[in-house]
Structure 1
């Protein structure tokens, strides 16, 4: 074995390379390939997980938008209902106030009418009283003299016979 020749060096280099290749293939190639394959799988899994997370985030965002839209719609419905209730309460209060005012006006008109009737009755009574007093005084004055009494009786009898 003479290693000084270039042909033998090439020969031995090829032999060592083939042996090294066989040893590497037998002992190192499978673990290296499985490590690379494992790394590739973990990268693919990480990419898939990232894609799933992205989809989940999009779904969550859509759900959040939907919930927000529903909350806004519910708030608007509640505000509308509150406005309707407020308007109804105000309308009811106005109607009740109008009814109370009408009732008070009617009672006041009735009271005024009653007081007017009382005043008229009292005035009639006073006028009647005064009329009677005046008639008494006039009759006393007229009938104080006998000639005047006879004349009044005579005039009354003439009136009665004429009718």
Structure 2
């Protein structure tokens, strides 16, 4: 340190001080303004980026809320459609059952009518056969009884007695 004090020169100090002032003047005139402008622009850019990020975050929150609302509406619509489809399915099944029951009843009624008609036809045929057999039997009996003259008279008297009783 002593060496610095001993070797101190006012001329050198003057020129160094003058160069320093010139450098500061030149820097202030040509460099600091652009540097300060660049720093201000950078600061403004950062502020804008932060504002844009905040705006984007708010928009994302809004979009998320809208998406949630749309999703809830879609779920509600899906549930309504599913409920309507179930009701239509149940109605179709009920209609099909009712139609099948009506067809079954109609077929049963037709079968009953057919059975009754066949029964009546069978009874009529049976009555015809029974009456034919009865006539045939009566004819044979009458031939056997009427071949004898006394038997004929007895039969006529018996019939007359029966007619008077009624």
Aligned length: 159
Which runs of 5 or more residues in structure 1 are unaligned?
none
Q: Find the aligned partners of 2:115 and 2:153 in 1 and give their Cα distance.
A: 51
State the 4+ residue runs in structure 1 displaced beyond 6 angstroms: none
Q: Deviation string for 1:1-45 (max 9, x for gaps)?
A: xx9349x947x83x6656655554444443332221111101111
Moved more, 76-85 or 119-128: 76-85
Give the corresponding residue for 1:45. Answer: 48
Question: Which of 102, 110, 128 does residue 107 from structure 1 map onto?
Answer: 110
Q: Find the aligned partners of 1:34 and 1:154 in 2 and give their Cα distance.
A: 158
CA-atom RMSD in angstroms: 2.7
Give the corresponding residue for 2:35. Answer: 32
Quote how far apart the aligned CAs of 1:135 are: 1.0
Which runs of 5 or more residues in structure 2 are unaligned?
1-7
Structure 2 residue 12 is matched with structure 1 residue 4: no
Instruction: State TM-score, norm by structure 1.
Output: 0.81
1:155–1:29 CA distance, 2 compared to 1 (3 A): closer
Give the corresponding residue for 1:60. Answer: 63
Q: Find the aligned partners of 1:123 and 1:87 in 2 and give their Cα distance.
A: 52
Give the corresponding residue for 2:147. Answer: 144
1:24–1:149 CA distance, 2 compared to 1 (3 A): same
Question: Which of 122, 135, 138 does residue 138 from structure 2 map onto?
Answer: 135
Moved more, 48-57 or 120-129: 48-57
1:159–1:112 CA distance, 2 compared to 1 (3 A): closer
1:120–1:75 CA distance, 2 compared to 1 (3 A): same
Question: Which of 138, 159, 164 does residue 156 from structure 1 map onto?
Answer: 159
